[in-house]
Amino acid sequence: QLQEASLFSLLLCSGTQSFMASQRRPDERPKLSKRASNVYREEEGLTELEWHERQKEYWYWVSGYAAMGLLAAMIENELVWYKVGAEPRGRLCIELIKCCCVGTTAAALCYLYLYFDAMIKVRRAKGALF
């Protein structure tokens, strides 16, 4: 299980208590109340493995949107520098590229929030208390 965890999520794991609790075998985990142990299975209807798969999916979306936003920002920067001192023709194209850059950045931030939310739900499904 440790090999499947990404290095990024291990670095962001806060505290050794939650990390150690997530690495325990199922029979070693602390016993939780019925309400606390079934929170995510009752509310969301997803298991630990399904949350882990969603976490991976969200990371792919974050990476894709961030790469597209970076590419749009580089294209916009090159177009602006190319047109320095020239007539302001093609301004609509540059504005559309700026909107694309802002949109992909906003989408990447939304998926980053969902990624960390799924990471917390994976940890809680494993038995970590935080």
For the stretch 23-57, pLDDT in tens is 555 555 555 544 444 444 434 677 788 888 899 99
The residue-averaged pLDDT of 118-124 equals 86
Give 121 or 40, the one with higher predicted confidence: 121
Q: Are 111 and 58 in contact (CB under 8 A)?
A: yes
| CA separation for the pair 9, 87 (Å, rounded) | 49
Residue 39 lies in a domain: no
CB under 8 Å, gap of 24 or more: what pairs does 78-81 form?
A: none
State residue 42's pLDDT score.
39
Residue 38 lies in a domain: no
Residue 20 lies in a domain: no
Q: Can you tell me which residue has the tokens 């997803």?
A: 46
Residue 35 lies in a domain: no
| CA separation for the pair 19, 39 (Å, rounded) | 20
State residue 6's pLDDT score.
42
Q: Which domain holds residue 126?
A: 62-130
Residue 4 lies in a domain: no
Residue 5 lies in a domain: no
pTM over 0.75: no
State residue 81's pLDDT score.
86
Domain count across the chain: 1
Q: What share of the chain is helix, strand, coil (3-state, %, to 5)?
A: 75, 0, 25
| pLDDT digits 0-9 by tens, 57-104 | 999 999 999 999 999 999 989 888 887 766 666 778 888 999 999 999
Residue 22 lies in a domain: no
Tokens of 16: 């050794």
Residue 68 identity: M
Residue 99 lies in a domain: yes
| CA separation for the pair 40, 123 (Å, rounded) | 11
State residue 51's pLDDT score.
84
CA torsion, points 71, 72, 75, 76, in degrees to nearest 10?
Answer: -150
